[in-house]
Structure 1
C-alpha cells in the first residue's frame, strides 16, 4: 500500500529528508500545525493514511483512509470523543520531553529545599541571612511520583542519583515497559523503592517529603488530589506539578498553600494559561510559578527527538513491528 503522510508539525529539514527516504513511492506533504477545532479541505486530508500532528482536524470524519496518528505531544486529551476511522492507531510523544521535565523537577526540589526564592529576595534587598533553613539537603528524602510513565521514570532516575528514596503510584504497575521511546536506549530503567496501586493512594501520600505529579489528565486523574488527599501529606511536604493542573483540585490546592497544609509548591501547568495578572497562584505562599516551560516544543532537543520518534515508528509501522508509545483506544476515545 502506498502511504500518504501529512506532517502538521514544525519541519526539521534533515529529518524530513530521512522520512521521505523511508517511503520510496510514498507521499509526504507538510503544512502548518493544525489548530484546535480547525477544519481542513477534504482534498488535503481525504486520502491520508498517516498523520503526524498535535491535533487532528475538526472534520476528522473526512479521513476514511487514516490508519495511524503520531502525536507531537505526550498528552492525548485532544482526541477525547473524536470520531476517527475504525482501526486508527494512536501513538504519543512520551519520552521526547522527559529529560527537561525531570530536570525541572530536580531544580524545583532544590529551590524549595534551599529556599532559593527567599535567597534571591535577600540578594535584591542586600540582606545577609545565614538561617539554617537555607542549608538543608535533599539526600535521604522521599519523593513520591504519581504516574509512573516515561516522565515519572526519568524523574526517578535523577532522584535516585541524588540519593532520594523513590515511591511511585502507577495504574499499570512499575515493571519495565516494552516498546516505549527514550532518546538514549542504553540507559537501564530505574525501579522505585516501593510501588503502589491507585487504591493505596492514602498510604503513599502519608510517607512523602515531595509529591511529583507526572500523570496525564484523564477522567480517572481529574481532581484526584482534593482537600482530603492533600491533608494526608505531612505538613513539611511540597508538591511539584509539571503535568496538568487539573489533576489537583484548584480550590483545595490554594487553601492548602494558604493554611500551611502544604509547605510549598512548584507549578508549571496552570488552571488558566496564560495566567492573568490577578491569578491567585502568583502570590500563593511559598509557591514557584513557571509558565509551562518544563518541557515544550522550545526544549533544546525537542525537534530532533520528536522527529526521531516519528521516523522510528514509521519503520515499525511499515514492517508490522509494535509501535512505540501506542495508546490503548479505550484511553483516548473517552
Structure 2
C-alpha cells in the first residue's frame, strides 16, 4: 500500500529521459482548482427590511410555502425562554389552517438593520393583531422580532428568529394580557381530562392548583367538593377565576405569588394539581413536602424532546424524583396538548405519598 503514493507521483511527473530538455507535461490532478468562489448576493438595509416584513407576513398568513422558502437549514426560533423548532412552527401554522382561523396582522416600527458582507440582522417592534375567532375575542400585543439573515445556496435566508414581549410587557403582563383577551396562546378552556380521570372516585379534601391561570382546573375541583387553592403570578388570571367561581357560587382561594418562591408549608394538601406547569426539581420537592400522607400529585405537560420544545422531563425522570412515593401512572403519549392545541408527546404522571 505504501507504493500507491509513489506510483501516483511518478504518473504526474515527466516521462522524458534524464537530461532531456523536453518540458514536463502538466498534471491536471496536481493543479489547484481555478473555480470561482460563490458570489454573495448584495443587499441593502431597505431590502433586509422588506424581506423581514415578508417573512413575518408569511407567518401571519400561514403561507407554509413562503415560510419554508425563506428559512435556512439551520433555522431556529427563541421566545419566552424557549426554543422553537421548525416542526413546532409548521404544526402550529397547519393547525391554524385546519381550524380555518383568519390571518393575523402585524405593523412594525422602530426597525433597524445591521449588516456585514455575509450577515444581516433586522430588529423591529411590531404590534400583532389577532382577529376574533371560535369564541375568542380579538387581541393585540406588542413584541420585538429579531431576524438573522445569512446567505445559503446563493440566497438570503433567515437562520434565527427571536421574539420577546415589547413595550411595557414582561412575562407577568404577557399572561395578564393573554387571560384578559382570551387569545394570546391557543389553549383549552375546559378542565384537563387527565386531572378529571385522576381524581375520579377520590374523597375530596384540600387541593392546590399550580399556575392556575384563569382557573379552568381549580374551578372544576371546587365544583367536585375540593377545598381548593390556586396560585399564579397573573393577577388578571386570578381575577377571572374568582369571577367565574362567584358566578357558580363556589368557594375558591387564590394566591398571587411566584410559585418558585412561595412557602407551601408541610403536609397541607390532599392533592397537588400540576397541569401544564414548568416544574423545576426544586418546585417539585416543595410541593411534595406540602402534600399530606396518602395525598396525590397529578402532572401533565409536554415531554422533553417533543415538538413543543418545552422544558419538560424525559421519560423516567419524574419517577426518579418520586422514588419514595407510589407511582400510580407514568406514561408518554401522542396527543393534543392543552396549550398550543397541537399534537405532541404528552407526559402524564400520578404519584401517591405513602
Larger RCO, structure (CA 8 Å, separation 6 or more): 1
**Structure with the greater alpha carbon radius of gyration:** 2
* Same structural fold, with TM-score higher than 0.5 when normalized by the shorter chain: no
Per the normalisation by structure 2, the TM-score is 0.41
Q: Per residue, is there more helix in 1 or in 2?
A: 1
Q: Per residue, is there more strand in 1 or in 2?
A: 2
